[in-house]
Homo-oligomer: A and B are copies of this chain.
Amino acid sequence: MAANLLNARDMALHACLCAASRPLSAYDLLDARRAAEPRIAPTAIYRSLTKLEKAGLVQRVATLNAWIARPPKLPAEPSVLAICDSCGAVEQVAEAGVIQAVTDAVTRSGFHPNRPVIEVHGHCTRCESETDPTRSAPR
């Protein structure tokens, strides 16, 4: 056995995501890594991201096809994401009660929940006050 342990590359990708102020796509990470590893391929990036996700260190943003680092303080569980469609920032809201409410709701209808994905698009405080509220929101 001995390797779903994180290696130097995994750590480097995690560091990229920690340093970024917004979610990065796998191909953003690929470009970033190419500086140090010119021959690295998409498969390697996705393998690292999968490992990091299992370790609770990163989380995929389904509605953006992108990835974020998880704050070390939060438990290794999915969180509610608040995604600003103006500046691209993503806030991870630790609201265990809300997640519970969602899984309870689907359980009530006979479903067996396993992996909740909760992402809310909108505007962060800064952008809401700065910009014209009439804006189009990307997918």
Chain A residues at the B interface, C-beta cutoff of 8 Å: 60, 62-63, 80, 82, 84-85, 91, 93, 95, 97-98, 101-103, 105-106, 109-125, 128, 137, 139
Query: Smallest CB–CB gap between A48 and chain B, Å?
Result: 16
What's the number of copies of this chain in the assembled complex? 2
23 interchain pairs, CB-CB under 8 A: A62-B62, A62-B117, A62-B119, A80-B102, A80-B106, A91-B106, A93-B105, A93-B111, A95-B105, A98-B102, A98-B105, A101-B102, A102-B118, A106-B122, A112-B123, A112-B124, A115-B120, A115-B122, A116-B118, A116-B120, A116-B121, A117-B119, A118-B118
Complex CA gap A91/B123 in Å reads 29
Complex CA gap A84/B112 in Å reads 9
Known: A62-B117, A112-B122, A115-B121. 13 other contacts (CB 8 A): A60-B139, A62-B63, A85-B114, A93-B109, A97-B105, A101-B101, A101-B102, A103-B120, A106-B122, A110-B125, A111-B122, A114-B121, A116-B120
